[in-house]
Amino acid sequence: MSRLAPFALLAVLLAAWEIAVRAMHVPAYFLPAPSAVAVALAENLPTLVAASWRTLSTALVALVLASLIAQALAIVTALSPLADRAIRPLASVVQVTPVVAIAPLVLIWAGIDHPERALVTLAVLVAFFPIFSGAAAGLRSADPDLERLFALYGAGRWQRVVRLRLPSAVPFLLEGHKVGAGLALIGAVVAEFGAGSGGVRGLAWQILDAGNKLQTARMIAALMVLGAMGVALHALLEAVERAGLKWWRGR
């Protein structure tokens, strides 16, 4: 029963919206009725799905790259305190700089023929930090008594990283990747906005294009697809995190 509650609320809100728009004769370019959005969604579904896939694939490629770079750097910081002190402040700079502010610069560097490279780069910049900070914290989270045992048994630095610190970091890495994947998707969409009409024809481009043509129903339809994609990605990553923790703990 309580699982149905959000859907019931949604139905009530949609009904109120439909009735209000019809009763007050709100112009369609300002606020189309839900039924008009549904029609726009059905008509444009193939284009919207293709556009979603473009955005999603940008985010996924960015997630893989961010994961590799962040983990490699985190391991370097775990191996060398000097590298740790050098890398951390710079990593924070990447975190606090808004992606929209970097977008124009990265678009210039990627070149006009390769906007997709700029989009991936920008999404990597956004997804990098949660994975890096998760990995860095995880690599320090090993049980201190286990660290002492490794010292007692004469383990080398590399052995400690591979056999103790990296496995200890797994729960932190799972969490970092979950947050990072969500941010990669947001980063990809924001970067598409930054790239503007000359960019890759992903979901953000669909929203911009529909907005320029005052096709408000199509704009909302694209937003709904974006929302659905975000929810699906989040649910998938929650499941991956749960399964990963179960595998790690054996229970």
Partner 1 sequence: MTAVAALNNVEVDYDRGRALGPVSLEIGAGETVALVGPSGCGKSTALRLLAGLEAPTRGTVTRAAGRGQTAVVFQAPTLAPWLSARANAALPLELAGMRRAEAYDRAGAALARVGLAGAEDKRPAQLSGGMAMRVSLARALVTEPKLLLLDEPFAALDEITRRALADDVLSLWAAAKPAIVFVTHNVEEAVYMAARVVVMSKGPGRIAGDFAVAGPMPRPPHFRTEAPFRATAEQVSAALAEGIAA
Q: Which residues bind partner 1 (CB under 8 A)?
A: 143, 145-146, 148-155, 159, 163-164, 167-168, 170, 248-251
List strand residue ranges (DSSP E) for 65-196, in order. Answer: none
Q: State which residue, 193 or 248, has the beta carbon closest to partner 1.
A: 248
Q: State which residue, 25 or 251, has the beta carbon closest to partner 1.
A: 251
Which tokens belong to 249?
């703990």
- Least distance from C-beta 148 to partner 1, angstroms? 5
Find how far residue 131's CA is from the centre of its chain.
Answer: 11
Q: State which residue, 142 or 217, has the beta carbon closest to partner 1.
A: 142
Which tokens belong to 66?
């961010």
Q: State which residue, 67 or 168, has the beta carbon closest to partner 1.
A: 168
- Least distance from C-beta 164 to partner 1, angstroms? 7
- Least distance from C-beta 143 to partner 1, angstroms? 6
**Placement of tokens 């199509």 in the chain:** 218
Q: Are 204 and 189 in contact (CB under 8 A)?
A: yes
Cα distance between residue 187 and residue 96, in whole Å: 14
Q: State which residue, 89 or 144, has the beta carbon closest to partner 1.
A: 144
- Least distance from C-beta 152 to partner 1, angstroms? 6
Which tokens belong to 64?
């893989």
- Least distance from C-beta 249 to partner 1, angstroms? 5
Cα distance between residue 135 and residue 171, in whole Å: 9
Find how far residue 46's CA is from the centre of its chain.
Answer: 23
